[in-house]
Structure 1
Amino acid sequence: MEGRPCGIYQPRRWAVEALAGLGAKEVLLEYLSYDRPVTDEVARMGEEAVKNAAARALGQWPCEDVYRVLIGILRRRHLPGAVATLGELRYTKAIPYIVDALEDGVCRGAAEEALRKMGTSSIPELIRAVLNPTPNRDEESPSSLIRRISAARLLAGVGLSKEQWTEVTALINETSPEILVAACRMAKRAGDQESLQISADRLIKAIGRADWYTSEEIEDMLVEIHDVAGSLVESEIARRNLPSLCENGAFDPVLRALTRVRQRARGGS
């Protein structure tokens, strides 16, 4: 463990596994507490793999010194192994740091899984995250938007009470198609018919700027809430079939998407 980090990291990872098997908690804590500078990119990636293994190995010791070291890591940087272990241990004091890790592409999967394991305890911090773009709403950074999309999806999955839904009702006015889909799911679960109507209209308008995956999610959502969205879908189909607009109708992705929604809602394939 005291050797120089390098791209061939497997021996150091095996050493971590051996130390964990021997119950050498203090050695692993000491190793994780110190971030040695690594200038070589390949060596840095190898060292990251060893750090992740050490952080995951600490999951067998649910105690305060382990929590302190893992949270100390997350204060400095996003480490998937630390996030995963804190989630596995359901250490709710780590939730703010795990929510912040949602903006990191490498750490996001571990952070989302950890927050799912936290259950409803994560709701207040997720609400804070989804409502607060950084640095501000007009100049939101890409990482902030990614964090808010993940937070919105997690909130839609965990389920909000009607009171909690009122805190995030403004999400139906977002421009992000991904957040709009999540907001619509929340509104449906809360039984908020007025917000559902608004959401359906905004989802239809968002199809044209959504990526293919989100476009499919929008279609699924419009089918699911067709009792509310049906008349809006029909109106938009009729509008796009007007002579002045239908010249390129065969190539209109929105028209094709809404036609599929209509067919599926009617029981077609």
Structure 2
Amino acid sequence: MATGMPECSPAMLVAAGLAVLAICSYLATIVVRHGAAGAQRYPPVVGTVFHQVYHLRRLHDYFTDLFREHATFRLLAPGGRRQIYTSDTAVVEHILRTNFANYEKGASNYDKMGDLFGDGIFAVDGDKWKQQRKIASYDFSTRALRDFSGGVFNRNAAKLAHIVAGNAAAKQPMDFQALLMKATMDSIFTIAFGVDLGTLSGSDEGSRFAAAFDDASEFILLRYVDAFWKVSRFLNVGAEAALRHRIKVVDEFVYKCIRARADEMSDGSKAHGVEG
């Protein structure tokens, strides 16, 4: 029965098979080369942002484990986005120094951090960042302030060492991370506002502020893995309700310190004017 198709000789079949094999080999070579180039260019994907939620209570340990395997890696996020993490000093220098202008925090980060950090240097880009950076560099470039800062850190380091030594001698357990946090907060606040929080000494007001700021930072972090945080903020429920309360505590304490400092400077100016 005629089929209307020409008969194929064995030679033609062999030639066609070789052609198909050649094409497949060529395509496979391209795929392999592209994959190799991609592997060299892009850091490996080691998980998703949801792994951060799962490991939230041991987040630092989780990332430490990942960094032991890869100096730089990616986590996949909803919407086809990717987060890149690095401990490579060359990459850090490239981002923060060599090509800093190319790595903005962006509107998304500002949206998440703005409630706590406002228009501070940690949350803004562009002209606002330049203004904040200029103020900070001016303050910390003076020799007097550098000497003052060194003295503050040294005093609080001595306090910390005394507390640790006392607990060790008494064989008492201690939360060393919390102690380091208190020493850092006491130092930074003294340098920035001229006020000693006294968290290492057990100050109730200072400890309340430090705890509120620590909690608020954690709630801000949750926004990066909670796709519905804006809904929670609008309804004022869950972590967003707690965040609002913590920010209120932080704001009240900070503005109280600012007003006290402003009054102190005003009184000093008046006294100087009277003496003059």
Interval of TM-score (by shorter of Structure 1 and Structure 2): under 0.3
Mark the structure with the bigger radius of gyration.
2
Counting strand residues as a fraction of each chain, which structure ranks higher?
Answer: 2
TM-score in terms of structure 2 length: 0.24
Q: TM-score, normalised by structure 1?
A: 0.24
